[in-house]
C-alpha cells in the first residue's frame, strides 16, 4: 500500500487518479500516525516553499517524513516534494527544508527570451538508472511548472537533469528515496511509467 501524503498542499486528486488508473493500491494519509502501515510514501506538492514547510510543521509531518527517508523506506516526491528535501530555498529565506540533501533551491536567472516560471513540456536526461528510472530514455518529455530549481552539482544522487536556460537537477535518487521536479501525474505515458516503476519497486 502506498500512502499519498495530504498536508494541505498538493495535487492529491490527480495523483490518486493516476494510481487508480495504474491499478496501484494507494490511500490518502491525513495524519503521520497512518504512515506506519504503508509500504511506500508519495509526496505531491505545489505552491511556495514557505507554505509547504509551514503545513508540514503545523501538521506534525516534518520529523516523521525525515525519519522515513533516513530509514531508507520507499519515498517518491513530486515538484515541491523534491525541493523540500533540500536545506532551504531562495524563495523563502530563513525557512528550513527537510534537509535530507545538501544545498539551496535557487530561482531561475533572468535571461532574454526566458519566461519564468517554466511552464509546459520539457525533456529529462537521465544520469543514473536507479530502480525507478531503469527503463527511462533520454528525450522523454514531462510537464513542468516552477520558478525555482535545484542547481546542478556533481553528486551521486543526481538522477536526471533538464535544461531551461541553464541545466539543473530535475530528478534525485538515493537508496529508496526518489523525487522529480516535474509532474508525472500530468505527463501522460512517460509520467505514468515512473509512478508505476515506483509502485513496482515498493511491491
Catalytic residues: 79, 183, 185
CA gap 201, 90 in Å, rounded: 33
CA 16 to chain centroid, in Å, comes to 15
Helical H runs in the chain? Answer: 12-22, 49-58, 62-70, 80-83, 188-202
Q: What is the DSSP string of 154-169?
A: --TTEEEEEEESEEEE
CA gap 45, 42 in Å, rounded: 10
Q: What are phi and psi of 181, to 5 degrees?
A: -80, -30
Strand-pair partners of 125: 161
CA gap 135, 170 in Å, rounded: 17
Peptide bond into 117 cis (omega under 30): yes
Length in residues, the chain? 203
Amino acid at each position: 500500500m502506498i500512502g499519498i501524503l495530504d498536508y494541505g498542499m498538493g495535487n492529491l486528486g490527480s495523483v490518486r487518479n493516476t494510481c487508480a488508473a495504474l491499478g496501484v493500491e494507494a490511500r490518502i494519509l491525513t495524519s503521520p500516525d497512518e504512515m506506519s502501515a504503508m509500504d511506500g510514501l508519495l509526496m505531491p506538492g505545489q505552491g511556495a516553499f514557505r507554505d509547504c514547510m509551514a503545513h508540514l510543521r503545523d501538521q506534525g509531518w516534518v520529523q516523521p517524513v525525515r525519519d522515513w527517508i533516513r530509514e531508507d523506506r520507499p519515498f517518491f516526491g513530486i515538484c515541491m516534494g523534491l525541493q523540500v528535501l533540500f536545506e532551504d530555498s531562495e524563495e523563502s529565506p530563513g525557512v528550513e527544508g527537510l534537509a535530507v540533501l545538501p544545498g539551496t533551491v535557487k530561482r531561475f536567472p533572468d535571461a532574454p527570451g526566458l519566461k519564468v516560471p517554466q511552464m509546459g513540456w520539457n525533456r529529462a536526461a537521465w544520469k543514473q538508472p536507479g530502480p525507478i528510472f531503469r527503463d527511462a530514455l533520454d528525450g522523454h518529455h514531462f510537464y513542468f511548472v516552477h520558478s525555482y530549481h535545484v542547481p546542478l552539482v556533481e553528486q551521486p544522487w543526481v538522477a536526471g537533469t533538464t535544461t531551461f536556460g541553464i541545466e539543473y537537477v530535475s530528478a534525485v535518487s538515493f537508496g529508496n528515496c526518489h523525487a522529480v521536479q516535474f509532474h508525472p501525474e500530468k505527463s501522460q505515458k512517460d509520467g505514468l511509467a515512473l509512478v508505476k516503476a515506483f509502485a513496482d519497486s515498493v511491491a
